[in-house]
Amino acid sequence: MSTQDYIEHNGVINSIDNQHITVMIVSESACASCHAKSACTAADMQDKLIDIYQESTDFKVGQQVILMGRKTMGTKAVILAYLIPLVLIFITLISSFQLTDNETLSGILSLVILIPYFTAIYFFKDKLQHTFSFTIKQLN
């Protein structure tokens, strides 16, 4: 795969434990890098810890690295977190209203349908962790 298929972000290794590496990155909003951020209250910078599961033979704590993730991970995450729940809500809302003709009950049922969905997501978190995995490489 080419580097165009990946999103790269600089980070620093925070901890190493066998095949589990924690990398700290600084997440900035678009306005955080603006030259006028000191005069604006919208600047947003925060540290985030990212878990990586790969062999850690060449890495040390405090080392600067490049965190790499596939661009398709973002699309998959949006589909799982937003699109599927939205479709479930609308299907449940429309079908329950057609069956019961009760707006309140239909609204409640359309929100309750999210409980089993997100419960299933929770139980599949180990499988999803491999789907949404990052890799790191040494900074040259």
For residue 38, what pLDDT is reported? 62
Residues 64 and 8 in one domain: yes
Residues 58 and 77 in one domain: no
For residue 9, what pLDDT is reported? 86
Is residue 118 situated within a structural domain?
yes
Is the model's pLDDT at 1 over the cut of 60? no
Specify whether the CB–CB gap between 45 and 27 falls below 8 A: yes
For residue 44, what pLDDT is reported? 60
Residues 53 and 79 in one domain: no
Is residue 140 situated within a structural domain?
no
Residues 84 and 106 in one domain: yes
Half-sphere exposure of 61 (CA within 13 A, CB side): 6
Domain count along the chain: 2
Taking the C-alpha atoms of residue 138 and residue 136, their distance in angstroms, rounded to an integer, is 7
What's the pLDDT tens digit per position in 9-50? 889 988 888 778 888 888 766 665 566 666 665 556 678 888
Is residue 84 situated within a structural domain?
yes
Residues 45 and 94 in one domain: no
Residues 49 and 83 in one domain: no
Residues 78 and 55 in one domain: no
What's the pLDDT tens digit per position in 79-124? 999 999 999 999 999 999 999 999 999 999 999 999 999 999 999 9
Residues spanned by the domain of 86: 71-135
Residues 27 and 92 in one domain: no
